[in-house]
A and B are shown apart, each in its own frame.
Chain A
Amino acid sequence: DAKTTQPNSMESNEEEPVHLPCNHSTISGTDYIHWYRQLPSQGPEYVIHGLTSNVNNRMASLAIAEDRKSSTLILHRATLRDAAVYYCILRTAGGTSYGKLTFGQGTILTVHP
């Protein structure tokens, strides 16, 4: 399975934008890029996903490099509630790995008041 590389931790100030990077140099053409986050004492929750084009939703934006070897999750205005572990995951769209998500260690985001 293609793997992702994320920084172990990042810090931000409240109400400032946050850019969380993810490298996935071995991504295949059928792999979707997914982001989940895990708040303290909770299960992971879906944030956003994309294939080739940049994506926006109410929670965040996803910027995907043209060669798809990296992506960036953008939180436009961080709040204290955004403090969590953020996981960048590749989802294979076909074959025997269809549908499975492989979580790495993620990035611990700390948001300062």
Chain B
Amino acid sequence: DADVTQTPRNRITKTGKRIMLECSQTKGHDRMYWYRQDPGLGLRLIYYSFDVKDINKGEISDGYSVSRQAQAKFSLSLESAIPNQTALYFCATSGSFANTGELFFGEGSRLTVL
């Protein structure tokens, strides 16, 4: 089983609908992240959380919200989806940056907003 699991893997929805992407991890990491990737571009940080009580906005948080339900779970919501939110979304986790600072990514959730 994957250490970082994202659901759903693929989703097609309509403009204005509410969508939630879920991420769970079994690595025991405190830190979790949501990134978005658009074709031909790198990854852009949406939100990140360094522990259950700590939520921070990234570069492109407008139109998104997150919830850290537990150490192992971090969900991303689009309250009213719009077509330019069509993208590939990645969840990632990391442990203490005093060590490698390595991020572990999920396999991605492809979202299409019509």
Residue ranges of A at the interface with B (Cβ–Cβ < 8 Å)? 32, 34, 36, 42-46, 49, 87, 91, 93, 98-106
- Total B residues in contact with A, Cβ cutoff 8 Å: 26
Tell me whether B83 is interfacial, beta carbon within 8 Å.
Answer: no
Contacts of A91 in B (CB 8 A): 97, 101
Tell me whether B103 is interfacial, beta carbon within 8 Å.
Answer: yes
* Cα distance A42–B59 in the bound complex, in angstroms: 22
Assess the B90–A43 pair: CB atoms within 8 A: yes
Most buried by B among A32, A91, A102: A102
Contacts of B58 in A (CB 8 A): 100
Contacts of B45 in A (CB 8 A): 100-102
Residue ranges of B at the interface with A (Cβ–Cβ < 8 Å)? 4, 31, 35, 40-45, 48, 50, 58-59, 90, 92, 94, 97, 100-108
Contacts of B102 in A (CB 8 A): 46, 49
Given A99-B31, A100-B58, answer yes or no on A105-B103 (Cβ-Cβ < 8 Å): no
* Cα distance A12–B104 in the bound complex, in angstroms: 27
- The residue that B97 contacts in the complex, of A45, A98, A102, A103, with Cβ under 8 A, is A98
Known: A43-B107, A46-B102, A105-B42. 6 other contacts (CB 8 A): A36-B103, A43-B108, A44-B105, A99-B31, A102-B59, A103-B42
10 inter-chain pairs at a CB distance below 8 angstroms, sorted by A residue, are: A44-B103, A45-B105, A46-B100, A49-B102, A87-B42, A99-B94, A100-B58, A103-B35, A104-B42, A105-B40
Contacts of B59 in A (CB 8 A): 102
* Cα distance A78–B39 in the bound complex, in angstroms: 25
Contacts of B43 in A (CB 8 A): 44, 103
Contacts of B97 in A (CB 8 A): 91, 93, 98-99
Contacts of A104 in B (CB 8 A): 42
Ranked 10 nearest A-B pairs via Cβ? A43-B105, A103-B42, A103-B43, A46-B102, A104-B42, A105-B42, A99-B97, A43-B90, A44-B105, A43-B108
